[in-house]
Amino acid sequence: MRFWFLRCLNTPCFTALPCKLGEAAARAARSFTSTQTANRRGIAVSGAEIREDFISEEEERALLEELEPVLKRKRYEYDHWDDAIHGYRETERSQWNEKNSRVLQRVRDVAFPPGVKQLHLVHVLDLHRKGYIKAHVDSVKFCGSTIAGICLLSSSVMRLISKKIPTDVVDLLLPRRCLYILRDEARYSYTHEILKDEESYFNGVKINRDRRISVICRNLSEDNAE
């Protein structure tokens, strides 16, 4: 199954597709730590949050143990011209073992206020070490205001680019085992992408991108919340 509905590269909500940074914009791109998600005008991108070491090594191992057998049965997909992602396999899962359910509940408790209608299925995206995610906005039709993901196996750089002002570029370091949350402005007014290994720098430091698995919880859009 493909998760085409989750991402929109070429709908009216995102016209500059797929986003290719010009030299100037690339120079303007600045890297920020988790506590400094300011863009180059010094304005914080509200709604971008990173919690380092959100899961322990042990919890990471337990998640991988449950996921590997499912992922291994699938092949990495490449080169669909309209896909937002290159070099990936994915699945979604509603039933988790007890230990992993507890971790996911922790994600949900941190990311969503009580009573918010959430997608029951957790999205699991396995990015090949040479894979990457192009700039996109998650479908506003199917996903609500919040995207919360834990990052397994590899650190990476997530780039946010303002849809209105493409020179407003914010890089976020997503360390292995972190939780990141994109809400509101960061979710709707910026595209997000995961850089390929060759482009993966943060504050001038190379961040080696290996195979990376993200485990993502989302809430429902208003349209789908009834």
49 binds, among Mn ion, ligand OGA, none (CB under 5 to 8 A by kind): none
| CB closer to ligand OGA, 41 vs 53 | 53
Which of Mn ion, ligand OGA, none is residue 144 near (CB under 5 to 8 Å by kind)? none
Tokens standing for residue 178: 């972190």
125 binds, among ligand OGA, Mn ion, none (CB under 5 to 8 A by kind): ligand OGA
Closest residue by Cα to residue 135 from 171, 166, 160, 165: 160
Closest to ligand OGA by CB, 24 or 70: 70
Cα 219 to its chain centre, rounded Å, is 14
d(CA 134, CA 191): 9
What is the closest distance, in whole angstroms, from the C-beta atom of residue 214 to ligand OGA in the complex? 3
How remote is the C-alpha of 178 from its chain's centroid?
11
Nearest of 209, 124, 141, 222 to residue 175 by alpha carbon = 209
CB of residue 151 to ligand OGA, shortest distance in Å: 6
Q: How far is the CB of 78 from Mn ion (least distance, A)?
A: 18
Q: How far is CA 100 from CA 20, 73, 87, 197, in A?
A: 37, 21, 26, 29
Q: Smallest distance from the beta carbon of 97 to ligand OGA, in angstroms?
A: 22
Q: Rounded distance, CA 55 to CA 152, Å?
A: 9
- The torsion defined by the Cα of 151, 225, 85 and 128, in degrees rounded to 10, comes to 30
Report the DSSP pairing between strands 179-183 and 48-51: antiparallel
Question: Which residue's CB is nearer to ligand OGA, number 41 or number 180?
Answer: 180
Contact flag: residue 51 with ligand OGA (CB under 6 A): no
133 lies in the binding site for ligand OGA (CB under 6 A) = yes
List the beta bridge partners of residue 98.
none
Which of the choices ligand OGA, Mn ion, none does residue 143 contact, using the CB cut-off of 5 to 8 A by kind?
Answer: none
Question: Scanning residues 120 to 139, which ones bind Mn ion (CB under 5 A)?
Answer: 138
Site string for ligand OGA, 202-221 (x = CB under 6 A): ------------x-------
Residue 135 interacting with ligand OGA (CB under 6 A): no
- Tell me: does residue 6 bind ligand OGA (CB under 6 A): yes
Please name the helix (run of DSSP H) or strand (run of DSSP E) that holds residue 157, with its range, or none.
strand 156-162
CA angle 17, 22, 26 (to 5 degrees): 110
Contacting residue, 47, 131, 149, 175, with ligand OGA by CB under 6 A:
149
Binding site for Mn ion (CB under 5 A): 138
List of residues contacting ligand OGA (CB under 6 A): 6-7, 125, 133, 138, 149, 192, 194, 214
